[in-house]
Structure 1
Amino acid sequence: MAEGDAGVRASVGFFSDKGPRKENEDFAAAVIGAELPEPRREVVAAIADGVGGARGGRVAAELAVRGFLDGFWDLPETMEVRRAGARVITALNAWINALGRQDPKLKGMACAFTALVLRGRVAHLLHIGDTRAYRLRRDRLACLTEDHSRDGSPGNSRVLTRALGAEREARLDYASHPVALHDRFLLCSDGVHGVMTDDRIAELLRERSAPDDTAKALVAAALDAGSADNCTALVLDVVALPTAASADVGGAIMQLPLIPTPAVGETVDGFALKALISDGRYSRIFGAQDEVEGGEAALKFPKPQVAAVATHHAAFVREAWVGAHVHSPWVAQILETPPGRQSCLYTVMPLYEGELLETRLSRRPAMGLEEGRAIAIGLARGVAALHRVGVIHRDIKPDNVILEGGGKLKLLDLGVVRVPGWEDFPPEDIPGTPAYMAPEMFNGEAGDEATDIYALGVTMFRAFTGEYPYGNPDAVSPPRRDRPKDLTALRPDLPAWLGAVLDRAIAANPGQRYRDAMEFAAEMEEGPARAPAPPRRPQTLLERAPVRFWQGVATLLALALLASLLLRRV
């Protein structure tokens, strides 16, 4: 049993017995996301019942369950369950089907399969075959799946009409159901449900023993009832659920109306707007006094007249999701308001004291090496924190970096980030500021780690020189040059190694850029150590062998003296 960061808790137990069969071709497993090295909010359980002979059936069942669990966790948490599950099962179906056709010992192998995914307050089911999923809510039992089977010939058991791996394409059932606290779920093979009535299954589930004990009781009851098959039961109890707000941040935000952009002096939901911090194309940010809970905050309001309502909602949902998943001293926080307080669409952030990097660039003196290097390292660490959870910023520029002093900074404006698995902007509307966009983004690339590193490099080139490396001085046009300007020609006081670091970050070919933001940070930190040594001139004879040098000089002088004396005698 474990608790995720959204308050999801579940208790899981299972038991399996081969029954009268020689081998056990069933396989079941579960993973609680909060217990993973990189915690997730889901709980996932799966069961499979193999067909195709003892070896082939067992292989198919184990491949299906292990493959589904591994594959599901490899996909981003933001991808909807139906889409993620279908992607994994499609790949597994092709794999099992190919093995069954290529290996004579595994000929015809396939399996019935059922997976249960708990995310937020919803249970998602993916199902094919005659394994089953039940839910006991209070005292009422419901079967949540439909068997894909028919009666066989007289004297034979039922025949599967669908199975994972039996066909080249899997015909998968999907369903979703609301989850309530204390719901009890059962996944079982047909060796259990095939010989037991629903009333008998419900009776055992209602005893509310520990999941392990209940699973054992179900298998024992099936064997007592004369089951001639493998018997497997997995029982999952929902112990706690996230609040509705935390379970569906996006849903709550989508319900908030847009209001006309407010002005200084107005009060919204107890926030008194005291000063205008930023007035951009899409939003307006105010410094505010929180008259309800005390303290200061920054509030970001959309401008309804410049974009569709759905576009604004999507941007604010992205910011809220990143705020809930990224916790870095280099990335701006998003603060959650108490339930019921917020009546319209806006984002609440801490009120950071400092100046924008863009403002710093307008002041003299020009940025020195150590000041700029500290900014580059901090900014790269913030970008790396986003990349670790699969988020691409897409609009890194001096206007979106606030310098707090003391070497601290925050990366701002998370409204156009790319979150894996979420519906993105159409290709013609990919966001960003053209002067900071990598060349491949003008050819349809929606944004990835390499494009963020490019924008990071352009930002720091401007920080040091005040100019754009590719000659687009208006910051709204694509690059005009094939090669970047020479940093040391613009700033002869800066070392050559710095120019080399930035040139790699802003390389036109994404394959030539740094592999990740932390590699860029490491290069900035190690700059002096990696600076090339000055070229060495050949040593003179005096430097290499001073004794031999002076001996030679003395010999030459002696010869010269002797020659002089001989000339005088003549």
Structure 2
Amino acid sequence: MSFHQKRPEQLSVAAGYSTERGPRTDNEDYCAFFEGTPAQRMRHGVIAVIADGVGGAKGGRVAAETVVRGFIDGYLGQSELLGVQKKCARAIEAMNRWIHAIGRTNSDLQGMACTLTALILRGRQAHIVHVGDSRLYRLRHHRLDLLTRDHTFNEWGMQGVLRRAVGASDSLQIDYLAEPVQVHDRYLLCTDGVHGSLSERVLRDELARRASPDETARAVTAAALAARGSDNATALVLDVLNLPPASQPDLELAIAAQPILPPPTTGTVVDGFDLEAQLSDGRYSRVFRAYDTVAKRPVILKFPKPIHGADVVLRQAFVRETWIAARVRSPWVAEVLDIPPERQTRLYSVMPFYAGEILEARLQRSPQISLAEGLTLATRLTKAVAALHRAGIVHRDIKPDNVILEQEENRAQPGLRLIDLGVARVDGMDDFALEHAPGTPSYMAPELFTGAPGDELSDQFAVAVTIYRLFSRAYPYGEIEPFSRPRFSKPTPLTSHRPDLPAWLDQVLARALAVSPRERFGDILELAFELEHGSARALPTVLHRKPLYERNPVLVWQIVSVTLAVLLFMSWAFR
């Protein structure tokens, strides 16, 4: 029998099982797979369990089925706040006491007991609980690993006799293991009728064929019987098809395990990433263009720098970037690539390589960005920020240095990617302590200089400054030096730098650049709407020719000087 479930952005697995009586009179094995509703999968995960009734015990089958069913019910009946390990332990201990008591009082079931191996996949973690000599294997990248150990005696004459079993005594020691899960992991739960008859090489080859879980499970049990196994043979195969975004605790655990080392240099190969060129070298990080020799693709790598006292802040920044990238889906927000934990030997983040240039670099060369191109880029930037805001995320460091203009061959105008979410504020995630307000002074809203943490309206201000610079290369309130206390009055009109731009654009940006947050747009999408439709909504503009003094003041003074000289000469000549 097989099971299959898949939902985007959720844990998705496929499972199948097979059980054969073999040469035995009865089948004392039992297995089950529980997928539940989407809400149950989110709260409790998916569960795969296998048990083998102790040979020779009258109630072996009863024990195996009762323990498997009771374990699943007991696990699901507890609050997810207890954590997987505690829930598993409580469920197994309750079943152990009950099976042990029945085995002592019911002569028909005297001495009944069983093994138990359970796999719970919750989020991006695998939780394994184990008693006895059933086994759990994991196939990953063509490598088969045994994740459990047999609880049997090794002494002569006692080989294969269980040291632990559910129901064998009134107390029970339970093995527990947690490890990260990867997409395409394949798990095999099996009883000793399988692993006692087949070598690990045979099991690996059968699993590596990547037939459906149901077909693979049948092939494994058939091979065990063909090898003249003398026991029941049961196999449950589970494939991981998709994983949900990593939770904050998952990320914190993974990132905490990675050391922060001095950043490498160009030409170095780190974990299969060939560092081809250094792109930037800031106070806190160094960024490289690299080539991923494993995935065969160009990428960007960012390495944090080890700074005394800044370790926690740096790790929190990496947690934020990775967490946000997994939850925000926008064509205008940069992604962060997921790297297998066993590949990564130090802390860094990996991003796709977007061919193009940083907006700040584009502003340093001619010609200036046209109205049409600028409005397209400005609208995309506002929509990128809107995608963050809809997810409860405030960027807090929007500026041309954090905008990539992505050039594609079949695209007339460049695309856009908003990057660097290391200082973002996230709803429900503790903010981290900084010496100064996050952001770059010339793009920071006035309220940030008085200690405000930053919100959607301060992001809007930074977007408006970026758009202002996109068209003019200048700053609306002048360039602000770090650690200064600027005074804000009124922004310099955009048209004073670019007389060719329409007045409606100046008015739109002036509102987004208002000193008081209450005078700005209520939502960043309002700004996006005005940028997209402002020309259609604007009143017709009556063009007035500027007086000569404004167009060419030098020429005016030259004319005045000549006129005065002529008058002076005439006055002298007619005396």
TM-score bin (small chain): 0.5 to 0.7
Alignment of 1:151-550 (within 5 A): 176-178=82-84, 240-244=121-125, 245=180, 246=246, 248-305=250-307, 308-405=310-407, 406-426=413-433, 428-474=435-481, 477-534=484-541
Compute the displacement of 1:425 (Å): 2.4
Shift of 1:507: 0.9
Q: Structure 2: which amino acid aligns with 1:426? A: A
For residues 387-429 of structure 1, give each alpha carbon's deviation from its aligned partner in whole angstroms, at most 9, with x where no partner exists: 1110110000000001013330100101111111111123754
Distance in 2 (CA, whole Å) between partners of 1:472 and 1:306 is 30
Distance verdict in 2 for CA 1:381–1:271, change over 3 Å: same
CA distance, structure 1, for counterparts of residue 267 and residue 400 of structure 2: 28
Q: What secondary structure is seen at the aligned counterpart in 2 of 1:304?
A: coil
Asked if 2 retains the 8 angstrom alpha-carbon contact of 1:451 and 1:510, the reply is: yes
The one-letter code matched in structure 2 to 1:480 is R
**CA offset at residue 242 of structure 1?**
3.2
Work out the CA distance in 2 between the residues paired with 1:371 and 1:474: 30
- Aligned equivalents of 1:400 and 1:260: distance in 2? 24
Partner amino acid, structure 2, of 1:251: L
3-state SS of the aligned residue for 2:423?
A: coil
Separation (CA, whole Å) in 1 of partners of 2:37 and 2:283: 40
- Contact 2:45/2:122, CA 8 A, preserved across alignment: no
Indicate how the Cα distance of structure 1 residues 473 and 326 shifts in structure 2: closer, same or farther if over 3 A, else same: same
1:242 alignment partner AA: G
Q: Shift of residue 293 of structure 1?
A: 2.5
Aligned to 1:273, the other structure's residue is in SS state strand
Residues 427 and 412 of structure 1, relative CA distance in 2, 3 Å threshold: closer
8 A contact 2:354–2:406 mirrored in 1: yes
- C-alpha distance 143-451 of structure 1, shift in aligned 2 (>3 A): same
Q: The residue matched to 1:342 in structure 2 has which SS?
A: coil
Return the alpha-carbon distance in structure 2 between the equivalents of residues 362 and 475 of structure 1. 21
TM-superposed deviation, 1:515: 1.9
C-alpha displacement of 1:331: 0.6
- Deviation digits for residues 229-266 of structure 1, max 9, x if unmatched? xxxxxxxx998533324451221111110111111011
- Give the direction of change, closer, same or farther, for the CA distance of 1:275–1:180 in structure 2 (3 Å limit): farther
Counterpart CA distance in 1 for 2:452 and 2:541 is 41
Task: From the superposition, tell whether residues 358 and 143 of structure 1 become closer, same or farther in structure 2 (CA, over 3 Å).
Answer: same
Q: Alpha carbons of 1:34 and 1:141: their partners in 2 closer, same or farther (altered >3 Å)?
A: closer
Q: State the distance in 2 between where 1:137 and 1:443 align.
A: 60
1:313 is matched by which residue type in structure 2? R
2:488 and 2:515 in contact (8 A); partners too: no
Give runs of aligned pairs for residues 24-103 of structure 1, distance below 5 A: 43=42
CA distance in 1, matches of 2:72, 2:496: 77
Q: Do the aligned partners of residues 463 and 339 (structure 1) sit closer, same or farther apart at CA in structure 2, a change above 3 Å counting?
A: same
Listed one character per residue, the Cα deviations across residues 340-371 of structure 1 (whole Å, up to 9, x for unaligned) are: 10010000011111111111111112222112
Q: TM-score, normalised by structure 2?
A: 0.55
1:473 Cα deviation from its structure 2 partner: 4.8
Q: For the residues of structure 1 that align with 2:477 and 2:424, how far apart are their CA atoms?
A: 24
Write the distance in 1 (CA, Å) between the matches of 2:483 and 2:415.
Answer: 28
Q: Aligned pair in 2 of structure 1 residues 482, 137: CA closer, same or farther (>3 Å)?
A: farther
Letter in 1 for 2:393: V
Distance 1:351 1:366, change over 3 A: same
How far residue 338 of structure 1 moved from its aligned partner, in angstroms, is 2.2
Would the aligned equivalents of 1:249 and 1:317 in 2 still touch at CA under 8 Å? yes
Shift in CA distance, 267/238, structure 1 to aligned 2, threshold 3 Å: closer
CA distance in 2, matches of 1:442, 1:119: 45
Please state how far the C-alpha of 1:443 moved relative to its aligned partner: 2.0
Alpha-carbon deviation of 1:2? 7.4
Is the 8 Å Cα contact of residues 8 and 240 (structure 1) preserved in structure 2? no
User: What one-letter code is carried by the residue in structure 2 that aligns with 1:272?
Assistant: D
Distance 1:457 1:239, change over 3 A: same
The structural deviation recorded for 1:6 is 4.0
Q: CA deviation at 1:182?
A: 9.4
User: Kindly tell me: are residues 179 and 386 of structure 1, through their superposed partners in 2, closer, same or farther at Cα, counting changes over 3 Å?
Assistant: farther
Q: What is residue 62 of structure 1 aligned with on the other side?
A: none
Q: 1:295–1:378: structure 2 CA closer, same or farther, 3 Å change rule?
A: same
Segments of structure 1 that go 5 or more residues without pairing to the other structure are: 10-31, 36-40, 44-116, 122-135, 146-172, 186-197, 204-236, 538-570
2: distance between equivalents of 1:174 and 1:294?
41
Of stretches 370-379 and 509-518 in structure 1, the one that deviates more from structure 2 is 509-518
8 Å Cα contact 1:4-1:34 kept in structure 2? no
- Look up the equivalent residue of 1:449 and give its one-letter code: E
Check whether the contact 1:380–1:517 (CA below 8 A) recurs between aligned residues. Answer: yes
Distance of aligned partners of 1:493 and 1:347 in 2 relative to their CA distance in 1, 3 Å threshold: same
Q: Structure 1 residues 534, 431: CA separation in 2 closer, same or farther (over 3 Å shift)?
A: closer
Cα distance in structure 1, aligned partners of 2:449 and 2:37: 38
Rounded to whole Å, the distance in 2 between the matches of 1:183 and 1:377 is 54
Q: 1:470·1:484 contact (CA, 8 Å) conserved in 2?
A: yes
AA aligned to 1:390 is G
* 8 A Cα contact 1:472 1:478, kept in partner: no
Per-residue deviation at 1:281? Answer: 2.0
Q: Separation in 2 of the partners of 1:385 and 1:240?
A: 30
Checking the alignment, whether the CA contact within 8 Å between 1:467 and 1:473 is kept in structure 2 is no
User: For residue 310 of structure 1, what is the amino acid of its counterpart?
Assistant: V
* C-alpha separation in 2, matches of 1:256 and 1:386: 27
Equivalent AA in structure 1 for residue 460 of structure 2: I
CA contact (8 A) 1:335 1:350 kept: yes
Structure 1 vs Structure 2 CA RMSD: 4.1
Tell me which amino acid in the other structure corresponds to 1:440: E
